[in-house]
């Protein structure tokens, strides 16, 4: 009877260890959603990423970087075997402090949620339509105004999926999402930023 209990305990430990890979990496496949690549985008916005080795030289199959101004970057990566995530703080003397994120965070789940929010497909925030338009029915006139926030905060997303690369900006997503509740991309931006905030 004691042997049966020991076998059951080892079975649960083995199942628990394998469950960390979740359904995302089951059967050696990862669902990516749509992937839009634009190598030219890596030439833009490069003040954030200038202190780091180019993502083009990364050996990971998948790597997503989220730069928050010049202060720090969070990196989620998959090397074909396991997920890793790091928080890299950029110190005032330009040195880097590297910290692994909490090991209890299910990184494959974070990745799945990023994919659900179109991390590889969503456009740069400046390329989506954010106009308030009004139609005066009696005068038969329509006018539109752009709502641009000139201050606030932003982050830069940079990704590599095998040989596909792109970089885009997310700026003031919460504010824009409140102003334009029908623009789905803004909801995606808010969710993407929140998912990266969880990586601590």
The DSSP annotation for 102-136 comes to: PTTS-HHHHHHHHHHTTTTTPPPGGGS--EEEEEE
- The answer to whether residue 38 sits within a structural domain is yes
- The answer to whether residue 3 sits within a structural domain is no
- 143 close to 133: Cβ distance less than 8 angstroms: yes
Give the pLDDT confidence score for residue 25 in this predicted structure: 52
Element (H, E) at 96: strand 96-100
Give the pLDDT confidence score for residue 6 in this predicted structure: 45
Give the pLDDT confidence score for residue 126 in this predicted structure: 81
The whole-model pTM stands at 0.79
Q: Where are the alpha helices (DSSP H) in the chain?
A: 2-19, 107-116, 173-179, 184-197
Block means of pLDDT (10 residues each) for the chain, length 200 residues? 46 42 63 92 64 89 90 93 94 90 96 98 85 82 71 86 94 87 92 95
- Whole domain around residue 128: which residue ranges? 26-197
Q: How far is it, in rounded angstroms, from Cα 46 to Cα 195? A: 23
Total domains, the chain: 1
- The answer to whether residue 20 sits within a structural domain is no
Give the pLDDT confidence score for residue 24 in this predicted structure: 52
């Amino acid at each position: 009877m004691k042997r049966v209990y020991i076998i059951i305990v080892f079975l649960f430990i083995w199942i628990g260890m394998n469950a960390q890979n979740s359904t995302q990496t089951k059967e050696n496949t990862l669902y990516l959603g749509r992937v839009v690549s634009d190598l030219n985008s890596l030439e833009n916005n490069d003040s954030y990423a200038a202190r780091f080795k180019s993502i083009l030289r990364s050996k990971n199959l998948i790597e997503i970087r989220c730069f928050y101004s010049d202060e720090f970057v969070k990196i989620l990566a998959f090397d074909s075997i396991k997920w890793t995530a790091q928080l890299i703080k950029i110190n005032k003397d330009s040195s880097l402090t590297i910290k692994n994120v909490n090991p209890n965070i299910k990184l494959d789940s974070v990745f799945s949620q990023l994919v659900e929010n179109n991390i590889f497909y969503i456009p740069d925030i400046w390329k989506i339509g954010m106009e308030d338009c009004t139609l005066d029915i009696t005068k038969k006139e329509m006018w539109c105004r752009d709502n641009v926030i000139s201050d606030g905060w932003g982050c830069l997303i940079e990704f590599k999926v095998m040989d596909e690369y792109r970089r885009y900006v997310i700026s003031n997503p919460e504010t824009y999402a409140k102003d334009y509740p029908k623009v789905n991309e803004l909801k995606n931006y808010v969710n993407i930023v929140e998912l990266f905030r969880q990586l601590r």
